[in-house]
């Protein structure tokens, strides 16, 4: 059984999930199987996945049958499970708790080969709607403090099957990288009484150095201190702390800029693998009185991390990144029409 343990030095929470190892060995041979008959995400193979939680399709479609355009179900081998209480315990100096949470898979469409750069805008909007609806549903559970949403695209990014999916992971603790952002945003707000992300956005649009593209609701840019070559962030122009409050119209605009960025990365970098990660506010209902300033100082966004030129980026062992492509150069290449 999985368990979440706290490292007493860094205070990081680590999910120990021994059963995943066995599953990884078993499924390794099926990965990137070119024969779509064997792909559990393809239409017709619904019985190979757990029962669906949510699906978009015609009204007369039966659950767990073909005809869907987006389908969500729990991961077959979740490291975290929604049953039970947190059940925090201590053993000597070590703290641990039940691996409480949720791990869900959103199949990004019935087409085995479709991905952000090639799917229709309507399809991408449906994926975003499914993610929004799931995040709002999961945040109804006060035991869940944070929901991570990400797409791993391509083999080197960790995509297990050749079929595009988004992953939703709900956890009982706010992840350290989000805590870092929340703290940094609060410090900036305490000093200047302005949202740091709104200020970055204004500067990127005005000065245009990292600017990549924009539409009515969103801006894409290469951040000033990019950790990775061709790292791109997408921010809503309007100050909003959470992805879950997006209207259908905003999601439609988001699908447009997501696709534009994916196409630009493909054109400039030759269809790279990438990680796409959503950073949104924590579940404020989970810890009343905590993170009180988040509505004013945090601003949700999406980070694209292409996996290119393995030798062009490295980490000096402790989160100290060396990036050999200046973001202003990456931005210039990306905003040049192709």
Positions in the binding site for Zn ion (CB under 5 A): 36, 39, 41-42, 112, 163, 195, 197-198, 239, 279, 299
Min CB(98)–Zn ion separation in Å: 28
**Of 36 and 64, CB closest to Zn ion:** 36
Rounded (5°) CA angle 87-81-285 = 65
Give the side-chain half-sphere CA count within 13 A for 287: 14
Phi/psi class of residue 104: alpha, beta or left (left: φ > 0; alpha: ψ in -120 to 50)? beta
**Of 98 and 123, CB closest to Zn ion:** 123
Min CB(186)–Zn ion separation in Å: 13
**Of 163 and 217, CB closest to Zn ion:** 163
Chain-centroid distance, C-alpha 160: 16
**Of 99 and 330, CB closest to Zn ion:** 330
Contact between 272 and 154 under an 8 Å Cβ cutoff? The reply is yes
**CA-to-CA distance for 55 and 200, rounded, in angstroms?**
37
Min CB(301)–Zn ion separation in Å: 6
**Of 173 and 299, CB closest to Zn ion:** 299
**CA-to-CA distance for 285 and 25, rounded, in angstroms?**
39
Min CB(303)–Zn ion separation in Å: 5
**Of 39 and 116, CB closest to Zn ion:** 39
Structure tokens at 253: 């605009």
Min CB(112)–Zn ion separation in Å: 3
**CA-to-CA distance for 63 and 165, rounded, in angstroms?**
19
Min CB(292)–Zn ion separation in Å: 16
Rounded (5°) CA angle 254-243-88 = 145
């Amino acid at each position: 059984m999985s368990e979440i343990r706290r490292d007493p030095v860094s205070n990081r929470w680590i999910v120990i999930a021994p059963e995943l190892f066995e599953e990884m060995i078993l499924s390794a041979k099926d990965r990137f199987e070119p024969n779509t008959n064997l792909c559990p995400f393809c239409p017709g193979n619904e019985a190979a996945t757990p029962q669906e939680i949510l699906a978009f399709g015609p009204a007369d479609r039966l659950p767990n049958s073909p005809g869907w355009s987006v389908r969500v179900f729990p991961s077959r081998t979740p490291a975290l499970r929604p049953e039970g209480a947190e059940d925090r315990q201590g053993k000597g100096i070590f703290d641990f708790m039940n691996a409480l949470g949720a791990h869900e898979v959103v199949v990004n469409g019935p087409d085995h080969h479709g991905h952000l750069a090639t799917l229709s805008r309507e399809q991408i909007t449906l994926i975003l709607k499914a993610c929004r609806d799931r995040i709002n549903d999961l945040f109804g559970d006060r035991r869940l403090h944070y929901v991570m949403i990400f797409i791993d695209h391509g083999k080197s990014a960790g995509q297990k099957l050749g079929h595009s999916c988004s992953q939703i992971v709900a956890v009982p603790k706010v992840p350290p990288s989000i805590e870092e952002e929340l703290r940094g945003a609060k410090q900036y707000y305490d000093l200047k009484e302005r949202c740091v992300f709104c200020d970055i956005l204004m500067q990127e649009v005005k000065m245009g150095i990292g600017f990549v593209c924009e539409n009515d609701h969103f801006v894409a840019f290469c951040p000033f201190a990019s950790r990775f070559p061709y790292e791109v962030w997408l921010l809503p122009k309007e100050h909003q702390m959470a992805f879950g409050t997006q209207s259908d119209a905003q999601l439609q605009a988001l699908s447009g800029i997501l696709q534009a960025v994916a196409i630009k990365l493909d054109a400039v970098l030759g269809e790279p693998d990438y990680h796409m990660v959503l950073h949104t506010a924590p579940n404020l209902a989970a810890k009343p009185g905590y993170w009180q300033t988040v509505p004013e100082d945090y601003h949700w966004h999406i980070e694209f991390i292409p996996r290119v030129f393995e030798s062009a980026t490295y980490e000096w062992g402790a989160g100290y990144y060396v990036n050999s492509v200046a973001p202003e150069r990456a931005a210039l290449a990306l905003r040049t029409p192709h």
